[in-house]
Amino acid sequence: MVPSFLSLSFSSLGLRASGLILVLGFLKLIRLLLRRQMLAKAMDNFPGPPTHWLFGHALEIQETGSLDKVVSWAHQFPYAHPLWFGQFIGFLNIYEPDYAQAVYSRGDPKAPDVYDFFLQWIGRGLLVLEGPKWLQHRKLLTPGFHYDVLKPYVAVFTESTRIMLDKWEEKAREGKSFDIFCDVGHMALNTLMKCTFGRGDTGLGHSRDSSYYLAVSDLTLLMQQRLVSFQYHNDFIYWLTPHGRRFLRACQVAHDHTDQVIRERKAALQDEKVQKKIQNRRHLDFLDILLGAWDEDDIKLSDADLRAEVDTFMFEGHDTTTSGISWFLYCMALYPEHQHRCREEVREILGDQDSFQWDDLGKMTYLTMCIKESFRLYPPVPQVYRQLSKPVTFVDGRSLPAGSLISMHIYALHRNSAVWPDPEVFDPLRFSTENASKRHPFAFMPFSAGPRNCIGQQFAMSEMKVVTAMCLLRFEFSLDPSRLPIKMPQLVLCSKNGFHLHLKPLGPGSGK
Ligand code: HEM
């Protein structure tokens, strides 16, 4: 039995704790209400679609077809409109080049309301860093994307793509359409592991690299689910749910893997012979570049920084290209005349070579225009967010104070009919040198723009060209009309329905 004085003190402790929780909850509510008032007042001059009293626009945003809903709002409210995720998080949603330039030509920080969800996994790497530390990292990492480093990756892209295409050859033999998305995802992640750590998933299913591969796939999926599930937005609640615990376990696997690879590489670098071997290797990987990076004050990246940057590459670099390649192949299936023209071009460039070389990529003019046109219609990253560090005044004289939240709706920007006549028409010639030179520099932003643009865009474009050229040489792609993709904005632009395509092998001379 509990003595009465103890039960008394327990109950008074309990009372005090509940009192404290109530006070903290109350203070949090006041803070949220004040913030709401500030954000709403800031957007007073921007009319927008009606909001639900509790969910704001969240219900519409979660629905299938939400992207096209925003495009229809964009017609109703030129330039920008408020967009509320629930009651307390309100962004100014923008989709006009001058508006985009006013914000994205500056280096304002990322909106913590969105990017803080990534921290548990990718830590403070380039994507979420801000201020002088971001600049220091950006300078240190930029040499990793120099074309001398990228050139040898063509062989890595080729090797991973061949594995995927051989798998497709077997699937295509069944004569049915199949979903290409997972295989593209596997190929892109495997490629990125090879370019980051120098080795990919062995495919054996039980190695350390395979566990890492599975953990990264799981983390991407869980993070996407969390973003659209408002009940999971609070950290405390999320970590208590089965999803949240699964996320933490996968994070642990990913972090352990990254830490161990870094430790092993650092230890190996102590050995002069290994150093020589690395120098003579056919390509340096990102880890080599990161470990060799010194800034002008002779400062190296700390272990925590190294891990954050590696994890950021893995996060930013595979899902985006997976989305880009999948939508591109869908566009090729939808527009056979463009597919045919791209194939003729890459056949001519390949000639009697076995595989593509770096210099070939610059010759793929029509393919590049088609990739850009598919990025326009299906931007892999459909939205990016900022929090203003100082006020901004837009071209029409309307302004926003510091602290306001901005959502750059790349999908709606790319369908802005003031910039893109007949925006729904797939027309690669929009990207001819002549046409592109006449366009606003912030009209086409698949890789964002300004100082916080994508550091990996050359890598991504090279990968996209090699992979898609090889796909077109090996197969003819056509649609399965019973299972067309349904656009679903998650962290990247996915399809609710997958990407079911018919693949017809093209036989000898198809670049095997
Ligand atoms: C088709 C492929 C890709 C697309 C469409 C894409 C798109 C983007 C976009 C829109 C941003 C800005 C994000 C924001 O402001 O929140 C970004 C940033 C970034 N991307 Fe990519 N990306 C792609 C591939 C890659 C690859 C392959 C890598 C690395 C290997 C990469 C690494 C990064 C990093 C580190 C940042 C943050 C840069 C900074 O803030 O300084 N991306 N990307």
Hey, what amino acid is at 192?
L
Q: Kindly report the backbone phi and psi dihedral angles of residue 178, in degrees, each rounded to the nearest multiple of 5, phi listed first.
A: -145, 160
Q: Kindly report the backbone phi and psi dihedral angles of residue 85, in degrees, each rounded to the nearest multiple of 5, phi listed first.
A: -95, 95
Bridge partner list, 494: 488
d(CA 486, CA 494): 8
pLDDT of residue 509: 59
**Three-state DSSP state, 337:** helix
Distance 255 CA to ligand 1 centre (A): 21
Reported as type and span, the H/E element at residue 84 is: strand 80-85
For residue 454 and ligand 1, the question of a CB distance below 6 A is answered with yes
Contacts of range 233-237, beta carbons closer than 8 Å, 24 or more positions apart: 233/117
pLDDT of residue 205: 44
For residue 316 and ligand 1, the question of a CB distance below 6 A is answered with yes
CA angle 52, 37, 384 (to 5 degrees): 70
pLDDT of residue 384: 96
Tokens read off for 77 = 């409210």
pLDDT of residue 206: 45
Q: How many CB atoms lie within 10 A of CB 266?
A: 13
454 has binding-site annotation: yes
Tokens read off for 244 = 């949240």
Reported as type and span, the H/E element at residue 314 is: helix 303-334
Distance 47 CA to ligand 1 centre (A): 31
**Looking at ligand 1, which residue's alpha carbon is closest to its atom 14?**
384
Residue 506 near residue 476, CB atoms below 8 Å:
yes
pLDDT of residue 207: 63
Residue 177 near residue 501, CB atoms below 8 Å:
yes
pLDDT of residue 293: 77
CA-derived radius of gyration, the chain: 25
Distance 491 CA to ligand 1 centre (A): 12
Q: Please, where are the H alpha helices in 351-432?
A: 358-361, 365-377, 410-413
Name the percent of the chain lying above pLDDT 90: 67
d(CA 458, CA 214): 27
Question: Mind listing the pLDDT tens digit for each residue in 325-375?
Answer: 999 999 999 999 999 999 999 999 999 999 999 999 999 999 999 999 999
pLDDT of residue 208: 65
Atom of ligand 1 nearest to the CA of 445: 10
Using alpha carbons, select from 159, 158, 181, 157 the residue that is nearest to residue 171.
181
Sheet holding 500-505, edge to edge: 178-179, 500-505, 475-479
Q: Are β-strands 89-94 and 405-409 bridged in parallel, bridged antiparallel, or unpaired?
A: parallel
Top CATH class, 45-505: mainly alpha
pLDDT of residue 284: 78
Beta strand spans in 378-495 (E): 383-387, 392-393, 399-400, 405-409, 475-479, 487-489, 493-495
d(CA 208, CA 257): 7
d(CA 465, CA 458): 11
Distance 373 CA to ligand 1 centre (A): 18
Distance 316 CA to ligand 1 centre (A): 6
Atom of ligand 1 nearest to the CA of 134: 41
pLDDT of residue 285: 85
pLDDT by 10-residue block (mean), the chain, 512 residues: 58 84 87 90 96 88 84 96 91 98 96 92 94 93 90 95 96 96 92 83 56 86 81 90 96 92 84 68 78 74 91 91 97 98 98 95 98 98 96 97 97 97 98 97 98 97 98 98 93 93 84 61
**Looking at ligand 1, which residue's alpha carbon is closest to its atom 37?**
127
Residue 169's contacts (CB-CB under 8 Å, 6 or more residues apart) are 474, 505
Q: Where are the domains of the chain?
A: 45-505
d(CA 200, CA 214): 12
The model carries a pTM of 0.92
Residue 389's contacts (CB-CB under 8 Å, 6 or more residues apart) are 106, 108, 109, 402
pLDDT of residue 10: 65
